[in-house]
Structure 1
Amino acid sequence: MASFRKRNDKWEYRIKYIDPVSGKKREKSKGNFRTKKEAQIAASEVELNIDNDFFEKNDSITVEEYLDIWFNIYKHTIKESSWKSRQDSIKAIKKRIGKIQIKKINLSFYQNFINQMGEHYARNTLIAIHQVFSMMMKQAVRDQYFKVNPIVEAKLPREKYTETEKEDIEYWEKEDLNLFLNCLRDKNQEKELTLFLLLAFSGLRIGEAICLKWDDIDFESATLNVNKTLFQKKGLRNEYVLTEPKSQSSKRKVPIPPQVIKQLKSWRHHQNQLKMKNRSDYTDLNFIFSDKTGHPTPARNFGYKLNTYAKKAGVSKITPHGLRHTYTALLIEAEIDVKEIQLRLGHASIKTTLDVYAHISKDKQIKSIKQFNDFAAHIF
């Protein structure tokens, strides 16, 4: 609603409204009209534009402010686990250029920014940052801050490799895996033994494993169905949701060897005893790796146990994802075809499989060269 006042024989209008982009209260005013009628006509035109969303843009809005506006729209269109994974990228962008006005973003500025980020962040992190910024800029075009997207031609800097660079791929040789699993058996850690044995011989992601239910296992055909993953809010025991797997290719049927089938049956018997012991508090939701209440055991609990018993077994520390790479190493050693490895791991792209395959194969090649050289040294 417009208001009018007379100042020094001239009329002025003042209009208060809510900016549909930022949701903030805004105000537009203009004066120097000869008559009140002229001010009313001008004000009615502005109000009509506001009603039709032809709003006055906040030209001083910063990247930090607009990121928040975009994110509040974006987060309602995807799964919680997906939008939460974007928060680290948002923090990184805000830290570097959060105070810059969005209208100052052009191709040169952004290319320089993403090049600098490439000096400080791993490749996958850099890709995630670029994806977030690109989505934000598409929204900025829709909100008429730009006629065309100024960063559409931006390119990620080339990946740099050095001889000393350590790739983030860790795994156990079969001897270390054997030591670890036997340590768990000796310490009567039935549930942990079952989970870690399963991870090492199926290649499941930890989120896929901890939400498995008993009807996902086909004991007759010795296979398991991967059809969901678990997202746990801040690692809280009862704050979780079952979601679709990481990608369509993540939905898969995985063969599991006899020792895993045998251990699953042993754990099911042990779990039934625990159900009876805790029946007053136990809700049977059919989860294989349930806690004493029947809900899925948090992934971080298993991460802690993995570190604890790796130390007891005298082997190097490893993450649950490292057991997925261990499975890949075992498949390579068993001379399984790389395409079959891709299917078992549920990789959407063969490139992902080949990257892991190449790294592990290289390690094994280096080891075999050393073994042969040691052997040959005793001949001549």
Structure 2
Amino acid sequence: MAKIIEYETRSGKRYKFLYYAGVDEKTGKKKYIRKNGFTTKKAAQIALARLEYQKALGKIDASTKKKVRFCEVAREWFSTYKLTVRESTLGTKESRYRKQIAPYFGDCYVDKITLQDCQKAVNEWFQAIPATMPGCIELVNSIMELARKEGYITDNPMKDVTRPRRTRTRDDNNFYTKQELNTFLGRVKQQENKKIYACFRLLAYSGIRKGELLALTWGDVDFKGKTLNIDKALTNRINGSVYVGRPKTTASIRKIALDDLTLKALLEWKYQQARDLLKRGYNANTPQQIIFDDNNGNIVKYKGSVNRWLRKIYQKNPDLRCIRVHGFRHTHCTLLLESGASIASVQERLGHSDVNTTLEVYTHVTKKVRQAALNDFINYMEG
């Protein structure tokens, strides 16, 4: 048994001991447990006897596990994650961690985080912003898994949480029908300049993403072959600025066919842009020229520029039903499927890496077709 030592402090006599706990199997070094501050020798003896009892039961582990905080493991996880994704994706994850996850777990030791702690966080994420809850769970789970692999914890409590059930509210109205699209484009062609008309005509008749649209150069348009090459996209940086980088996924790199009227709208804008920039002393007749520029030949400063163009159109036309910019991609997908295009061809044209994304729209379209068929039958029977 360890020896109890008496020592003096300003408050009087105190007692301490140094207990030998065994040899650390990992390091081969002896481990000692130091206790002090006992006001009586009897209190020190009781504490020492308790340690002896725990050691006899095998409850004292001589191994020295490093205690780390959740934020330390998170830094280690992000240092690897940033090498695998685009800067915009990294920025989204870092923002989610900083705003929603760090307040709950950042300063906690990972081995002290319980299932109850995780469930409380999940419930509060769900109540605050339900749509972000799955992403928060996924991120915490990834960080905790790294902690488990590193040996800081034995179990990952985030894996056992109960996810509050979300009422999925798919926005079934974020697209135009054939008639609505024709009305919209007719107004834009009549009221707006050639650039704005070419922009929304291309979005609606190609289904490309907003970031892909804003990264296009004239070298991407083959007027003779009637095709459009998609191999880059305008992407947000962590600091809010933009840059032209690789597309969202490998499937996003594609070449799609364009119709004659869309090509005509692009060609008319190409000539107009060249004249406008020439007046400013710029030569726009190069393959590298950005198509939908900032009016000075450069890429726009932020991706929301197209949103601003669309808002102005709706302000002039309050009778038009409003959809978001992404709704033109959904419109193209919907009308393609309604026209009889195969799921595989639509997936390829839109650059969906997961066919389930295309199938979600397909399910929506088939429901509409089934309902239309029923309506025709009822009208026939009751007519």
Same fold (TM over 0.5): yes
Alignment of 1:289 with 2:298, yes or no, is no
1:57 corresponding residue in structure 2: 66
Point out the more displaced range, 199-208 or 183-192.
Answer: 183-192
Query: Which of 150, 153, 174 is residue 156 of structure 2 equivalent to?
Result: 150
Q: Cα distance 1:354–1:122, how it changes in 2: closer, same or farther (>3 A)?
A: farther
Is the CA contact 2:252–2:353 (under 8 Å) kept in the aligned structure 1? yes
Given residue 311 of structure 2, which amino acid in structure 1 is its aligned partner? N
Given residue 331 of structure 1, which amino acid in structure 2 is its aligned partner? L
1:339 corresponding residue in structure 2: 344
Q: Cα distance 1:193–1:95, how it changes in 2: closer, same or farther (>3 A)?
A: farther
1:197 corresponding residue in structure 2: 201
2:269 corresponding residue in structure 1: 267
Alignment of 1:244 with 2:246, yes or no, is yes
2:140 corresponding residue in structure 1: 133
Given residue 310 of structure 1, which amino acid in structure 2 is its aligned partner? Y
The whole-number CA distance in structure 1 between the counterparts of 2:197 and 2:95 is 33
Cα deviations by residue, 1:142-188 (Å, 9 ceiling, x for unpaired): 55422x45258547748644xxx531341011212112211111123
Given residue 252 of structure 1, which amino acid in structure 2 is its aligned partner? R
Q: Cα distance 1:68–1:346, how it changes in 2: closer, same or farther (>3 A)?
A: same
Given residue 187 of structure 1, which amino acid in structure 2 is its aligned partner? Q
Correspondences of 1:200-239 after superposition (within 5 Å): 200-233=204-237, 239=241
2:56 corresponding residue in structure 1: none
2:58 corresponding residue in structure 1: none
Q: Cα distance 1:188–1:150, how it changes in 2: closer, same or farther (>3 A)?
A: closer
Percent of residue pairs identical: 27
The whole-number CA distance in structure 2 between the counterparts of 1:159 and 1:149 is 25
Correspondences of 1:107-118 after superposition (within 5 Å): 110=118, 113-114=121-122, 117=125
2:46 corresponding residue in structure 1: none
Cα deviations by residue, 1:68-108 (Å, 9 ceiling, x for unpaired): 56435643554311201213431222345556442223567
The whole-number CA distance in structure 2 between the counterparts of 1:281 and 1:218 is 20
Cα deviations by residue, 1:288-314 (Å, 9 ceiling, x for unpaired): 111222212332121011122134332
The whole-number CA distance in structure 2 between the counterparts of 1:201 and 1:74 is 36
Is the CA contact 2:178–2:335 (under 8 Å) kept in the aligned structure 1? yes
The TM-score with structure 2 as length reference comes to: 0.72
Is the CA contact 2:123–2:164 (under 8 Å) kept in the aligned structure 1? no
The whole-number CA distance in structure 1 between the counterparts of 2:270 and 2:285 is 16
Correspondences of 1:355-366 after superposition (within 5 Å): 355-363=360-368, 365-366=370-371
The whole-number CA distance in structure 1 between the counterparts of 2:94 and 2:283 is 36
Given residue 332 of structure 2, which amino acid in structure 1 is its aligned partner? Y
Q: Cα distance 1:159–1:334, how it changes in 2: closer, same or farther (>3 A)?
A: farther
Given residue 322 of structure 1, which amino acid in structure 2 is its aligned partner? G
1:317 corresponding residue in structure 2: 322
2:17 corresponding residue in structure 1: none
Given residue 361 of structure 1, which amino acid in structure 2 is its aligned partner? T
2:18 corresponding residue in structure 1: none
Shift of 1:272: 0.5
Cα deviations by residue, 1:115-134 (Å, 9 ceiling, x for unpaired): 664566556x3442233223
Is the CA contact 1:278–1:292 (under 8 Å) kept in the aligned structure 2? no
Shift of 1:232: 3.5
Is the CA contact 1:211–1:228 (under 8 Å) kept in the aligned structure 2? yes
The whole-number CA distance in structure 1 between the counterparts of 2:115 and 2:93 is 23
Shift of 1:244: 1.5
Is the CA contact 1:311–1:317 (under 8 Å) kept in the aligned structure 2? no
The whole-number CA distance in structure 2 between the counterparts of 1:168 and 1:235 is 30
Q: Tell me, what secondary structure is at the counterpart of 1:327?
A: helix
Q: Tell me, what secondary structure is at the counterpart of 2:183?
A: helix
**Structure 1, unaligned runs of 5 or more:** 1-6, 9-29, 33-53
1:304 corresponding residue in structure 2: 308
The whole-number CA distance in structure 2 between the counterparts of 1:281 and 1:96 is 55
Q: Tell me, what secondary structure is at the counterpart of 1:266?
A: helix
Q: Cα distance 1:176–1:296, how it changes in 2: closer, same or farther (>3 A)?
A: same
The whole-number CA distance in structure 2 between the counterparts of 1:369 and 1:189 is 43
